[in-house]
Amino acid sequence: MNEELDSQLSAMFDDELPPAECELLARRLSRDELLKARWGRYAVVGAVIRAERGVRLNAPLAGRVSAAISVEPELAAAAVTPVQRRAGMSWWQPVAGGALAAGVAAASVLWLRAQAPLPGADFSAARAPAVMAVPVAKVSDSYVVPPTLSVRPMVAPSTELANYVVAHSMVSSPVARRNLLSSFITSEPGAEEPQEDARAHAQ
Amino acid sequence: MPGPMRSSERLAVLALGCLACGIAWADEPAQWLERMNQALTTRNYDGTFSHWHGGKVEMLRIIHRVQDGTVSERLASLDGSGREFIRTGAQLACYLPDKRTVVVEQRPLQEPLVGFPAVSEQTASFYDIREVGRTRLNRRDTHLITVTPKDEFRYGYRLWIDDKTAMPLKTQLCDAQGHVIEQIVFADLTLSSHITDAAFRPDVSTEGFQWVRDGGGPPRAPPPGTLAWGAVRLPPGFRMTVRSAQTLPGSSGPVDHLVFTDGVASVSVFVEIQRTVNATPAGVAESATLGSSSAFSTVVDGHKVTAVGEVPPATVQFIATQVKAEGPAPVGARDH
């Protein structure tokens, strides 16, 4: 995706794109799967960031985008909410150096490690859908770190995490439950156990 | 010219129509997912499978039995930590030899043990479900069904479903780009009419283990001042299906458990009063991954809010950060 298009998309999000260009871009959004996926991705990251900063997209833009992305109405609905716009505040800002959104990046790092397929296995991505987009972490380098949020690896005692996993497994689909419990069983023993909690267990 | 159709004739036509629809629906890929869920939850089976995740492969054994309406299931590691899950009816015990701990969760009897989401027409709005071919796997005829997410809020599946039994012989969990995150392949699978009780006893000796249990019992009325929690916004297609209060093993008080699902994936949100020990500092969130599942925890109004689900990290973060107190909890037992 070229920089000009990227810039247009950004401006559209900030409602700074002239109406005529906005209309053209909206039309392109409706037929360009990659662009649509990028927009959807902005919605994910933006929603998270907005939740912390209280910034919302404005209503006119919401209407235009909703109309454009008719194929994914729910996605559009997620990206647009009532106005709480503050002049000059953009939740999406291009950053030359490629800073990461701390929250999203931290949450993504761990699972990205797991994406290497098993050598020699039938893990072809040839059936990957056309709609699919770049992973969140790959594009999050265009976002500004929210200053108030700090995300760290979870240090919950493993028994507490086990509680949550077990309770959640009760409401998961059969396949998901099997995957979840298998993952728990095969996870590194004691990886999250704080020392003081381990002492408490030993008592 | 034919006269008006009599009631019996109308019924017959309706029945034929339904039958025709049923036949057509039976070939639908979504129907294979339903059959698979049915097989996994209603059949007796004993199998060994490999679990691949993050470049690590481990062998596990699963035994599942439905007898007199009671579901028993045992999932055990064959060559790793020795951890096991053993479910008997409404009780699920998690054996953690590395922690010398057994965590036991007892679900209230009136609460459905299996509340997993069902594939519906709405599911098709967020996933592309197709049968992409029929292949042979372990000398069995299988249907290769793909469940491809249409956005990045959820993961997808590739499922090799046995033509005869509807059991998934191979399962791949994929991210939005089609990359495999996790794979399960059965090395052997036996479907039998009878499985003995002995098969559901743990291999591990629990001598000296700490047993962490919950109080069980029915959902309790929230004490005065308790808050009702909900999500301000949700990812497209997700909706709340369960809201209950329960006591988790080792927990000092009731925990609100909210469940959100899109028909395939589900996310649980647990809300409990922030404990002083190991308390998460204000403004600090925590994240973790467990295989293909993600967890994200944050603090809202003195409560710890933790979202767990088989979805991408960004999705649990999105949901956790959208959970807010909606006001005082209604007097009486919680709704489900």
Q: Which residues of A touch B309 (CB under 8 A)?
A: 168
Q: Find, among A124, A192, A184, the residue nearest to B51 by Cα.
A: A184
pLDDT the model gives residue B55: 83
In this complex, how many residue pairs, one in chain A and one in chain B, have their CB atoms less than 8 Å apart? Answer: 320
Within chain A, which residues score under 70 in pLDDT?
1-3, 9-20, 22-23, 26-27, 29-33, 36-159, 188-203
Number of helices and strands (H, E) in chain A? Answer: 10, 1
d(CA A31, CA A26) in angstroms, rounded, equals: 9
pLDDT the model gives residue B79: 76
Question: Is the minimum CB–CB distance between A191 and chain B shorter than 8 Å?
Answer: no
Give me the interface pTM, i.e. the ipTM.
0.77
pLDDT the model gives residue B269: 95
Q: Which residues of A touch B101 (CB under 8 A)?
A: 159, 201
Q: Which residues of A touch B266 (CB under 8 A)?
A: 168, 171-173, 176
pTM comes to: 0.61
Pairing of strands B284-290, A150-153: parallel
The CATH number of B219-328 is which of 3.40.50.970, 3.30.200.100, 3.40.50.720, 3.40.350.10?
Answer: 3.30.200.100
Interchain contact, B117 vs A173, CB within 8 Å? yes
Region for B269 from its dihedrals, namely left if φ exceeds 0, alpha if ψ lies in -120 to 50, beta otherwise: beta
Q: Which residues of A touch B285 (CB under 8 A)?
A: 103, 149-152
Q: Which of A52, A180, A198 faces B293 most closely, judged by CB atoms?
A: A180
The CATH class, in words, for B29-200 is mainly beta
d(CA A181, CA B255) in angstroms, rounded, equals: 21
Give CA angle at B232 (A35, B306), nearest 5°.
95
CB neighbour class for B163 (10 Å; exposed up to 12, middle 13-18, buried from 19): exposed
Q: How many other CB atoms are found less than 10 A from the CB of residue A25?
A: 22
Residues B265-292 have pLDDT tens digits of 999 999 988 765 555 566 667 888 877 8
pLDDT the model gives residue A5: 73
Q: Which of A158-172, A178-192, B25-39, B134-148 is the least confident region?
A: A178-192
Torsion of CA B189, B191, B196, B198, to 10 degrees: 10
Q: Report chain B's mean pLDDT, rounded to a whole number.
A: 81
> Domain ranges in chain B?
29-200, 219-328
Identical fold between B29-200 and B219-328: no
pLDDT the model gives residue B278: 57
Interchain contact, B105 vs A163, CB within 8 Å? yes
Interchain contact, B268 vs A171, CB within 8 Å? yes
Interchain contact, B259 vs A163, CB within 8 Å? no
pLDDT the model gives residue A141: 43
Helix (H, G, I), strand (E, B) or coil at B146: strand
Residues 6 or more apart whose CB falls under 8 angstroms from that of B67 comprise: B44, B195
Beta bridge partners of B161: B143, B168
d(CA A35, CA A121) in angstroms, rounded, equals: 32
Give CA angle at A107 (A103, A109), nearest 5°.
120
